[in-house]
């Protein structure tokens, strides 16, 4: 899922969004054609999607055939599969709309949503969930804050994609049809996104101070510390890329940071309750 996000960003940042003008093939019902770097990058992203689909299908089958079937694992892996299919179809609309910036932004947000689902699936596969299983809330106040933290975080992501949609990297390359940008100034969108970032960092900083001063388990302290570190790194990259006129490498790093921050917020939310670990095959054998 992380690779899908990063390769998708690379498609846009290298101007390869229209490298393959058709979908799911590249050139009028053909995969091959007059290949160049843009075609390879664009189709490489599609190949990652195919590989990911195979892995998720295998995960869904494994969850279904599990000796003790768990509905949560079946539903989560099924949701991942549906999300990937929806993301692929949305990608087709992106291509045929000549990189409509609204659809490109939605494409990014949907991919990050699937990262959240994948992180939840990974977490739940390691612990026992379901009727009769242990589910101890570590701190009810911090659990409420962890839930509310999603609101400023979603605002941060949305304003980030809007900033990208108004920025200079449209996804098309020289000689191709110039892709439209969102109908507002890049500088204005960047300032709104920076305000959302300052708000989020301020909330997380206050949260880390409160958690480290409270008598709470170590997992909560480690989870919120990761959020602070990633947020500060993201802020540094964001400010640098704006002051240096949005170089491609820094934008790709910023996308990687956004993906890491998405996983961090998800894990912090999941760590609010304690569960028993799934017994491994080795432990069962012993």
Strand, helix or coil for residue 30: strand
Is the pLDDT at 121 greater than 80? The verdict is: yes
Tell me: cis bond preceding 24? Omega within 30 of 0 counts. yes
Q: Which of 110-124, 170-184, 207-221 has the lowest mean pLDDT?
A: 170-184
For residues 209 and 147, what is the distance between their CA atoms, to the nearest angstrom? 18
Mean pLDDT of all residues belonging to the chain: 85
Is the pLDDT at 35 greater than 80? The verdict is: no
| Phi, psi values for residue 178, rounded to 5° | -70, 125
- CB of 26 within 8 A of CB of 43? yes
Those residues whose C-beta lies under 8 Å from the C-beta of residue 201, and which sit 6 or more positions away, are 228, 231, 232, 235
What is the structure's pLDDT at 173? 55
What is the structure's pLDDT at 23? 67
What is the structure's pLDDT at 162? 92
Q: What pairs with residue 137 in β-bridges? A: 273
The structural domains of the chain, with segments of one domain joined by +, span 2-281
The two three-digit tokens of residue 249, written as one number: 């490498």
- pTM, two decimals, is 0.87
Q: Exposure of 215 by Cβ count < 10 A (0-12 exposed, 13-18 middle, 19+ buried)?
A: exposed
Strand, helix or coil for residue 273: strand
The C-alpha angle 13, 19, 20, rounded to 5 degrees, equals 135
Question: Which tens digits make up the pLDDT trace of 77-111?
Answer: 999 999 999 998 998 888 788 888 899 899 999 99
Strand, helix or coil for residue 284: helix
Q: Which of 55-69, 75-89, 154-168, 177-191 has the lowest mean pLDDT?
A: 177-191
For residues 218 and 228, what is the distance between their CA atoms, to the nearest angstrom? 16
Q: How far is CA 149 from the centre of its chain?
A: 16
- CB of 16 within 8 A of CB of 41? yes
């Amino acid at each position: 899922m992380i690779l899908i996000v990063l390769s998708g960003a690379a498609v846009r940042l290298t101007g390869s969004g229209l490298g393959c003008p058709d979908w799911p093939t590249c050139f009028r019902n053909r995969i091959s054609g007059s290949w160049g770097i843009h075609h390879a990058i664009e189709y490489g992203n599609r190949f990652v999607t195919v590989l990911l689909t195979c892995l998720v299908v295998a995960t869904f089958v494994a969850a279904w055939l599990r000796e003790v079937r768990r509905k949560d694992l079946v539903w989560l892996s099924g949701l991942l599969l549906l999300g990937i299919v929806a993301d692929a179809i949305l990608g087709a609309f992106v291509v045929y709309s000549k990189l409509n910036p609204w659809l490109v932004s939605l494409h990014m947000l949907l991919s990050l949503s699937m990262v959240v689902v994948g992180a939840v699936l990974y977490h739940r596969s390691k612990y026992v969930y379901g009727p009769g299983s242990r589910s101890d809330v570590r701190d009810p106040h911090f659990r409420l804050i962890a839930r509310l933290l999603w609101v400023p975080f979603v605002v941060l992501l949305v304003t980030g994609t809007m900033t990208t949609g108004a920025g200079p990297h449209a996804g098309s390359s020289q000689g191709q049809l110039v892709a439209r940008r969102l109908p507002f100034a890049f500088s204005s969108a960047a300032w709104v996104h920076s305000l959302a970032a300052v708000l989020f960092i301020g909330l997380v900083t206050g949260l880390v101070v409160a958690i480290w001063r409270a008598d709470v388990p170590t997992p909560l302290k480690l989870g919120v510390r990761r959020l602070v570190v990633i947020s500060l790194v993201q802020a540094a990259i964001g400010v640098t890329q704006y002051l240096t006129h949005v170089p491609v490498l820094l934008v790709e790093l910023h996308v990687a940071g956004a993906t890491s921050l998405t996983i961090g917020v998800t894990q912090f939310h999941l760590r609010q309750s304690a569960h028993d670990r799934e017994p491994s095959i080795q432990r069962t054998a012993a």
